[in-house]
Chain A
Amino acid sequence: MFETNFNVIDFHVHPVINKNPLKTMKEIMMVARKFHISKLCLLGDVLRFGYNPDEKQVSTINNLTIKLVKNLPEFLVGFCFLNPENSHSFIQEEIERCIVKENFKGIKLEAAVNATSKKLDFVMEIACRLNILVVHHSWNTDIINNRKHQSDPEDIANLASRFPQVKIVMAHITAASQRGVVAIQPYKNVWVDTSGAQPVSGTIEYAVKHLGAERILYGSDVPGRDFSVQLAKIIDAQISEKEKRMILGENTRKLLGI
């Protein structure tokens, strides 16, 4: 049994559209419990239909998140997946359906458009009005290219500067690397999650030093990743127990009001 005093919330989990997604989610939940994870934030099966899903596909993704959260309400926290390329009326309806009616806690943006695009403004303005969180995918495009779709940490910083009242979580700290941490450092409305990538040593210590533990949220990117490995990044980091506790759950609890 995993021995820890931490009450963990995983900020970054994806459901899977398959024959029995509820069964898959229950299997994930069983393993999560073994690691004292009390809640999973479900960000949608966001790449199921590629980078630029149409409105029907976005609805399918959100339908699954709604279904899973309804079935496992104590354990799952829903996020509304959106594509800024879709029509404003659809985006508005989807936010109404997921955030207002289903009490989802935030919006997830993936890789339809770069974060500096004006196409994000409509979504960000609603997020500002409703005071909800926006989670944005990010990666270092120096290596993977495709900046049309992918967003560098500097692009997230640009988004944060344009919408200083919106709380933004930049996903994937390891991909952001030290350069990414420095890029978002001045923007106090940006947090970073620890999800995904290999457990590269020193990553968490650097982020704690430059951002402060209060701006870091533990996330795994399960099922593409493993709870054990992603948790080890925090547990093994040379930071204080208090900082670990903040990253593993307290910060997310505070940010989402749960």
Chain B
Amino acid sequence: MELFDVNVSIGYWPFQEFHLKDIKQLSRHLASYGISKGFVSSLESVFLSDPHNRNTILIQKLKGKRNFSPVPILNLRLKNFLEEFSFLVNCGVKAIKLVPSYHFYNILSENTFHILNACKKNQIIPIIQIRCEDERSHHPLMKVPPVNFKDIIKLSRIFHDLKILCLCPYFYEAIEICKKTENVYVDISFIERFNTIKALVEKVSAQKILFGSHTPFFYTKAAIMKIKFAEISQTDREKIMHINAMSLLKIEKC
């Protein structure tokens, strides 16, 4: 069972204690679940106004680890975000992540258009984090609204020839996003209801769905059991587990 996890983070989060303290522990942890490849972001970058240092550290720490790709977070409120993007491209990153709700900007802003144009030009996958936590469990003084999935749909129509990955949508958001766009993909970490993946695949193509565990926020096994025991065809299962992610990255073998 090969797994490509598109939703992994490392670092400190003020509202939850994680037992995975560094890349070494994280790699060992993921390997123990059969996760052979993944996208990893730095959690500190979500809160820092300028995530440059944390992104750089992440890239350095993942250097030489062929299985896990760093996904730096860009803050589009910073004037130099395009320079930072160029720096990241030069570092060889394959994807960048946007956290519009935490960095407090609208996804339909001009800066988003600039960065998506830059992604298109440099063949970088833009990843949009819809939420990090269930809104019903936020700190009462830090209620961070999710990115509006309707705005993602609008954005996808402007950038119809760019593949965009959305992390952490709920079931109904994932359905709407996948049904109303050609070029937006979703991960399974937050999607849940009875017989989750079967219900999802009955409504949208398995081609649009990627395996994401949201480790270390969630128990890693939750996403694994969701896909492992899903009542779907083996072909669809493999697409979700790793084929779709590889195809997004244009790589042939996991």
Chain A residues with CB under 8 Å of chain B are 2, 28, 31, 34-35, 139-140, 142-144, 174-175, 177, 197-202, 222-229, 231-233, 235-238
B87 within 8 A of A: no
Whether the Cβ atoms of B194 and A28 lie closer than 8 Å is yes
Chain A residues with CB under 8 Å of B19's CB are: 201-202, 238
Chain A residues with CB under 8 Å of B101's CB are: none
A140 and B137 alpha carbons, distance in the complex (Å): 8
Whether the Cβ atoms of A177 and B137 lie closer than 8 Å is yes
Instruction: Kindly report which residue of chain A lies nearest to residue B196, judged by CB atoms.
Output: A226
Stretch binding the partner chain, chosen from B120-128, B155-163, B221-229, B235-243: B221-229
Whether the Cβ atoms of A229 and B222 lie closer than 8 Å is yes
A103 and B196 alpha carbons, distance in the complex (Å): 33
Chain B residues with CB under 8 Å of A237's CB are: 219
Whether the Cβ atoms of A31 and B225 lie closer than 8 Å is no
Chain B residues with CB under 8 Å of chain A are 16-19, 133-138, 140, 143, 190, 192-196, 215-226, 228-231
**Interchain residue pairs with CB less than 8 A apart (12):** A28-B194, A142-B140, A198-B134, A200-B16, A202-B16, A202-B19, A225-B192, A225-B193, A226-B195, A226-B196, A228-B230, A232-B221
Residue from A35, A175, A228 in contact with B136 in the complex, judged by beta carbons closer than 8 Å: A175
Chain B residues with CB under 8 Å of A175's CB are: 136-137
Whether the Cβ atoms of A201 and B219 lie closer than 8 Å is yes
Report the minimum CB–CB distance from A46 to chain B (whole Å).
Answer: 16
Instruction: Kindly report which residue of chain B lies nearest to residue A228, judged by CB atoms.
Output: B225
Whether the Cβ atoms of A197 and B137 lie closer than 8 Å is yes
Whether the Cβ atoms of A229 and B137 lie closer than 8 Å is no
Report the minimum CB–CB distance from A227 to chain B (whole Å).
Answer: 8
Whether the Cβ atoms of B192 and A229 lie closer than 8 Å is yes
Report the minimum CB–CB distance from A117 to chain B (whole Å).
Answer: 23
A233 and B17 alpha carbons, distance in the complex (Å): 16
Whether the Cβ atoms of B194 and A198 lie closer than 8 Å is no
Chain B residues with CB under 8 Å of A235's CB are: 221, 225
Chain B residues with CB under 8 Å of A238's CB are: 19
Report the minimum CB–CB distance from A11 to chain B (whole Å).
Answer: 16
Residue from A143, A197, A222 in contact with B194 in the complex, judged by beta carbons closer than 8 Å: A222
A200 and B219 alpha carbons, distance in the complex (Å): 6
A201 and B190 alpha carbons, distance in the complex (Å): 13
Report the minimum CB–CB distance from B208 to chain A (whole Å).
Answer: 19
A142 and B133 alpha carbons, distance in the complex (Å): 16
Instruction: Kindly report which residue of chain B lies nearest to residue A203, judged by CB atoms.
Output: B219
Report the minimum CB–CB distance from A197 to chain B (whole Å).
Answer: 6
Known: A198-B190, A200-B16, A226-B193. A232 touches B219 (CB 8 A): yes
Whether the Cβ atoms of B217 and A229 lie closer than 8 Å is no
Residue from B143, B218, B220, B230 in contact with A143 in the complex, judged by beta carbons closer than 8 Å: B143
Residue from B193, B195, B216 in contact with A31 in the complex, judged by beta carbons closer than 8 Å: B195
A174 and B222 alpha carbons, distance in the complex (Å): 14
Whether the Cβ atoms of A224 and B136 lie closer than 8 Å is no
Chain B residues with CB under 8 Å of A222's CB are: 194
Chain B residues with CB under 8 Å of A142's CB are: 140
A34 and B228 alpha carbons, distance in the complex (Å): 12
A200 and B221 alpha carbons, distance in the complex (Å): 11
> Apart from A201-B217, A202-B19, what are 4 other A-B pairs with CB-CB below 8 Å?
A143-B137, A200-B16, A223-B194, A233-B222
A143 and B134 alpha carbons, distance in the complex (Å): 11
Instruction: Kindly report which residue of chain A lies nearest to residue B225, judged by CB atoms.
Output: A228
Whether the Cβ atoms of B221 and A143 lie closer than 8 Å is no
